Amino acid sequence: MKIIKAIKDATTFLELHTNQSSQQCKIEAEEIFMFVFGVNKSRMYSSDTDLVSDQHLGHIYQILNKRKENIPLSYLLKKHTFYKHNFYIDENVLIPRSETESVIDKLLYMGDKLFIEKNRCFFLDAGCGSGCVGITIANERPEWKVYLSDMYMSSLAVAKKNMEICKYKNVHLICADWLTAFRSVVFDFIFSNPPYIPLEDTRVEKRVFLNEPYSSLYSGEDGLDDTSFIDNEGDRWYVDEYGDKSYMWDYR
C-alpha cells in the first residue's frame, strides 16, 4: 500500500472512532505516519511511490487502536508541539493547550515592560508540569531568569527532560507547593495555570478525565482551592518595589 492511500485509510479510521473533525483526523494521521517513519511532512509526501511495509503498518495500527480507546495522541507519541518546539509529554503532566500557547506572546510583552523598568525579569512558572511555558519563555528571553516549580517529582522529571530544549542556562527547577518555598525570594512576574475544575463537574471530556492527571484538573468543590491558596500566598509574600503584584492567570 502506498503512503497516501495508507494515510487516507488512517484518517477514515480516526473519523469513525474519534470525536474529531475530518481535518483534525487528517492532521493526526499525518502526525502518526511522520512519527513512525521518522520524517517530516514534505519528506513523507515525497516518498509516495514507496510502499508502506507490514512492520510500519502494524506500528501505525497499534497507535490507531489506542486512539480508538480514547488515549490522547500526545501520550502515545510522548510528544506535543508547543510554540516552536516539540516537548516530551507523558501521563504525569497535563497536555499543553493551544489556549495556553496563545498566552506566550502576552507573557513576553508584559515581561519586557518589567525588564525595561527594572533591568531584570525574574519569572516563575508555578505548577510548571511539562515546563513548556517556562522553557519557551527562557528560550525567547535569554536575559531573564526563569524558575519552574512543581510539587510533584514526576512532573519535574518531565520538565527536566524538556530542559534539553532550552538553548541557554537561565532555567532553574524547584520542588515546591505553589509559592510556599519562595517566601524570601522576590519574583518580578508569576505565571500559573492551576487546576480549576470542581470535583463534581460532569462536563469534562471523557478522554481528559480518563487520561490526564487528576491533580492537574480538579481543585476542590468549587474548583478554586488552588487558586485561592496561591492568591493568599502571593498577598502574604510578594509585593514588588512599586507596590504592585505581577500575576497572570491562564484559564483554559
Domains, the chain, ordered by start: 3-69 (1.10.8), 98-249 (3.40.50.150)
| pLDDT of 151 higher than 60 | yes
Q: pLDDT-based confidence at 242, cuts 50/70/90?
A: very low
**Residue 230: per-residue pLDDT:** 78
Query: Could you give the residue ranges of the DSSP H alpha helices within 119-189?
Result: 132-140, 153-162
**Residue 216: per-residue pLDDT:** 92
Q: Burial, 41: exposed, middle or buried (Cβ in 10 Å; 0-12, 13-18, 19+)?
A: exposed
Which cell numbers hold the place of 97? 493547550
Under 8 Å CB-to-CB from 48, ≥6 apart: which residues? 2, 3, 4
Minimum mean pLDDT range among 14-23, 34-43, 144-153, 243-252: 243-252
Q: Closest by alpha carbon to 93, among 77, 81, 75?
A: 75
Which cell numbers hold the place of 2? 502506498
Q: Closest by alpha carbon to 140, among 164, 101, 168?
A: 168
Name, of 62-71, 182-191, 231-240, the range with top average pLDDT: 62-71
Mean pLDDT of 170-193: 86
Residue 240 Cα to chain centre, angstroms: 29
Q: Closest by alpha carbon to 135, among 112, 120, 110, 156?
A: 156
| pLDDT of 56 higher than 90 | yes
Predicted TM-score (pTM) of this structure: 0.86
Mean pLDDT of 27-56: 90
Rounded to 5 degrees, φ, ψ at 40 are: -85, 180
Angstrom CA distances, 242 to 208, 236, 245, stand at: 41, 16, 9
pLDDT in tens, 2-31: 899 999 999 999 999 998 999 999 999 999
Under 8 Å CB-to-CB from 180, ≥6 apart: which residues? 233
pLDDT in tens, 162-174: 999 998 989 999 9
Number of neighbouring beta carbons within 10 Å of residue 49: 8
Q: Closest by alpha carbon to 79, among 69, 70, 90?
A: 90
